[in-house]
Structure formats: structure tokens, C-alpha cells
Amino acid sequence: MRSDKIKKGLERVPHRALLHATGLTRKDLERPFIGIATSFTDLIPGHIGMRDLERFIERGICYGGGVPFLFGVPGICDGIAMGHLGMCYPLALREIVADTIETVCNAHQLDGIVCLTNCDKITPGMLMGIARLNIPAIIVTAGPMLSGRYKQKKLAFVHDTYEALAKAKKGDISGEELACLEIEACPGAGSCQGLYTANTMACLTETMGMSLPGCATSLAVSAKKRRVAQDSGERMGELVRKNIKSLDIIHKKSLENAIIVDMALGGSTNTVLHLMSIAHEAGIKLDLETFDKISKKTPHITNLEPAGTHFMEDLEYAGGIPAVLKRLKSKLNNTMTVSGRRIFNIAREAQIFDEEVIRPFNRAYHKQGGIAVLYGNLAPNGCVVKQTAVSPKMMKFTGRARVFNREEEAMQAILGRKIKKGDCLVIRYEGPSGGPGMREMLAPTSAIVGMGLSESVALITDGRFSGGTKGPCIGHISPEAVGKGPIAILKDGDIISIDIPQRKLEVKLSKAEIEKRFKSFRAVAPKIKTGYLGRYSKLVSSADKGAILL
């Protein structure tokens, strides 16, 4: 066992003394040491129920013959961080989480680890950490939130808060109704109810084999989630005994499976960054072209919030990710999972309980998958759009540039009714380095929808979008503005052309004019130059590389 390095031999007398000080018995020293990396915090709705799940994971580890050790991992709620300085931190947090996993596990030579996670950047951070370590590992995601209720109508976080505030500004709903939505939209523990980044990553984690079957969609408040937590802890004993490591599960074919399911579900565009970063830690080459190639061959078979009408609870009751695997079996690789069962075996035994929530291919919601990758003179290295969340009327769009150097300026213009039909908002200097931290633009995109402009206005940015974004919103433009990407030389009134079917993003400027503008170009410096974000800004790569630290 790895842990023998800290507990076996004469020279480890001091180490054993410290271990005994924690309450361990001599018998405990003969058992595997299993870490529980918990991201419990009172600050994140998706994480407030983790104290309960920690108990069940601990119990499972003991049943499996191991000794559990809890340690904390920091967490951020993207929704609370949204729309202000706080949003510079979540993507950067991903690296802190990965580094924490690596540091604690290697410093104490743990034999395996169960990662308890849920929300947006914490899950990929934990996957990056366990890929880097390559030790036995399991991910437990804490589960989706139940839908809210208002006058018998189901409520979801983004639609009934971010979009609702713009509707209130416009006068479409009353202040009284807005106050009711505010208190009812998020009724308790769990990750936000739609296919936003947290739930998308949970689904992809289960798909790539790093969570037990049924983990992703089992609801935060359910007894089923407790059983999954306990089973995950118990399963760790077998993984350690058989020395089944994280990179036995995470490899090229399992990542391809994750992309296929991502496209079929219509998940968050953030997954492009996260899967590429996980691949990087695993030593696997994964590029933007792979996502687009798979998307073109994968039908979109679910219609989940925010682009659709179903909720994560509907996907759970329709059969969860095992049912999705059953539907997609002919397209998937037969990879191994931490459960000891292969994907095809899980798919064969699954049942699809609702053919409307998980549609057959001949009734797919869209012929292609959720994400499209665009290129052109505005994005030489690529950019991404959640094409299944775009109205057919806006799949091709030509508009006038309205240029803003930060999100807050654009938000003021939208709510101030200064954005008109035919405008294309450009929000730049929000990339991985320039932001720094590549802020999510959920507030302006939701405001566009709430103001009734989603079928007449587009938005492009070198920042990124929440899984809650819908409409013609194109992010991850690479190179970013601070990296002298063409987005940096745009001016108000420039004509921008978006053609999602043809995968094109262009500004109607000649090559000579672009070169002329660059001659007088002076980049805006990153907004934060000190502290962690100052260091992050200097080290982070472009979005088309996964915004990894170099």
C-alpha cells in the first residue's frame, strides 16, 4: 500500500506516534488509508447537504475495510459570484482544488480517495487532481436540487431569477411576483435544477466511469443519494485491493464517451474547458475539433432547462444516465467504470421510463449535438456556442457591433434599453488572462432573454457562459483580446456575421484593415495584477487549450 511509506518500519516510529494521536489503533495501521475530499460549505446550496453524505461515505469505507480521513476543499457558488468581481475566481478555483487533492494525498501517501463534490468548477478540479495522482478514486456528486413551485408552476434558478429580473425591469411581471420567485426558485439543497455546468459535469463524470451508476441524477435530498455515497465508500476497498487507478478509467475512449453524452444532453459549454483540462492532466491530447466532430454525429435527445422544459428530476425519473447510455449504446465505447461494470453492461440493464425526456434518434430534438465550434477572422483559434439553445431564426445572424470592455458596461446598456434589434454585443477583456478568470456572462445573456431580445440580438465574448445561457451567445473566442486576438480591434458599428451551420464567425473587415488597426493597437492590461489572480493571469493558457496553467 502507498500508505506503508508513512506507517511501516522502524524509521516511521514518529509517524505512527502522530497517527495514533488522531485516535488510530494498531489494527487501523494495517488497513488502507482512504481520503475523503469534501467540499462542504454553508455558502453553496449544492454543498450544504454534504455533512450527511460524508457520514455515509465514511461508513462505506469502513465496511470496505479502509480507514477514512476527511479533509476540506474550498468551494465557490458560481451563482452568488456572478456579475461582479467574484466571478473572476471560480475557473481559477479549479486549479486550487486540483492542487489541494494532489498536495494532501501525496503528503500523506493516501491509498485512495473519494471526492465529494457538486458545483461547477469543483468537480472538474477534483477530476484533474485524481488524474494527476493516478491512484484509486471515486467521485460522488451531491445531486440536483428539486424544482421550485409558484402557482403550481415548476421553477428553475436561471429562468425564474436572472431572466425574471429583466422582465421586472421591463414591466412584464410585478414586484410581488418577483419577490415570490426569489424565495421559491431554489427550494433547498442541491445543484441548480437544469443542465447547467454542475449537473452537466456530474453526468459526464458518471459517463466516463468515475462515479457509480445512478450517481449523477439522484437527487440531493434522496435516500438513493445516501446509498450511492455509502456504496462509493465501500467500493473504494475493492479498487485499492485490485489497484484500479484513475487512469485505468480516464482515458481517450472514456473521454470520448463523455463528449458524446454531453452533445446528446445539450450540456454547458464550460465542459469544453473542463474535459480538455482533465485530458491534459491525464496526458491525453484533446482539441476543439474533436468536440465539433462528435457533435455533428450525435443527435440531441433531451430537452432540459435552460434551453428546454425538462428538469434534472425528470431525467432522474426517466432512468438517469444509465438510460441515456442505453439510448446511445451504438455510439459509445465499451469502457470500464469504477463500479467494475462496463458501459455496455450498464446500458443493457438500464430502462428508459419516459420516451419524451430521453427521445429515440428518429425523434431527436436536434439532429446535431449541443455544442458547435466556430472559426473565422474573429476567432482564428476557435470559439464555442451552445447551438441547441439557439432559435432557428438566429442560427445565421448579421449585426452591428456594440463593443464593451467589461461585463458590467454591457449589463448597464441592456437594462438601460440601449441595445436594439440587430445589435451584436461584444464583451472583451474577459478571457482567461485578461479577465482574469474568464468570467461567465449569465447576467447579460439572461437580461437579453428577459428584455425580449433573444431572437434579434447576439453576444460574443472572449469570456464564457454559464450552462444557464441560451440564445446566440458565442464564447471562448481565441485568441482573447489581451492576447491580441482580433476581437481586440473591433469598433462600434463593425458588421459581424455569425453562421452556426457553417461554423463561421467573421467581422466584415478586409485583411488590410485588420492589420492597420493592429498597428495602433494597445491592449488593455488585465484588471487584477496582485494576489492569486495576478499569478493566475500570467500562467493561464488560452481557452482553446482548456485554460490550463502552464
Q: Which residues contact 487 (CB under 8 A, 6 or more apart)?
A: 378, 379, 426, 428, 460, 462, 477, 480, 481
Closest C-alpha to 468, from 439, 445, 500 = 445
C-alpha cell read off for 100: 489541494
C-alpha cell read off for 407: 461585463
Which residues pair with residue 373 across a beta bridge?
384
Q: Is 155 helix (H, G, I), strand (E, B) or coil?
A: strand
Can you tell me the distance from the alpha carbon of 38 to that of 45, in angstroms, rounded to the nearest whole number? 14
Can you tell me the distance from the alpha carbon of 100 to that of 94, in angstroms, rounded to the nearest whole number? 10
Closest C-alpha to 296, from 497, 501, 119, 35 = 501
**Angle (nearest 5°) at CA 432 between 430 and 434:** 50
Can you tell me the distance from the alpha carbon of 257 to that of 270, in angstroms, rounded to the nearest whole number? 17
Closest C-alpha to 383, from 510, 299, 264, 496 = 496
Q: Residues 466, 478, 497, 537: which is the catalytic one?
A: 466
Q: Identify the residue whose cell numbers are 415548476.
A: 154
Sequence letter at residue 433: S
Tell me whether residue 391 is one of the annotated catalytic residues: no
Q: Provide the H-helix boundaries in 82-174.
A: 90-107, 122-133, 163-170
Q: Which residues contact 223 (CB under 8 A, 6 or more apart)?
A: none
Q: Are 259 and 459 in contact (CB under 8 A)?
A: no
Chain centroid offset of residue 477 CA: 18
Q: Sign of the CA dihedral 534, 75, 115, 328?
A: negative
Q: Is 304 helix (H, G, I), strand (E, B) or coil?
A: strand
Active site residues: 466
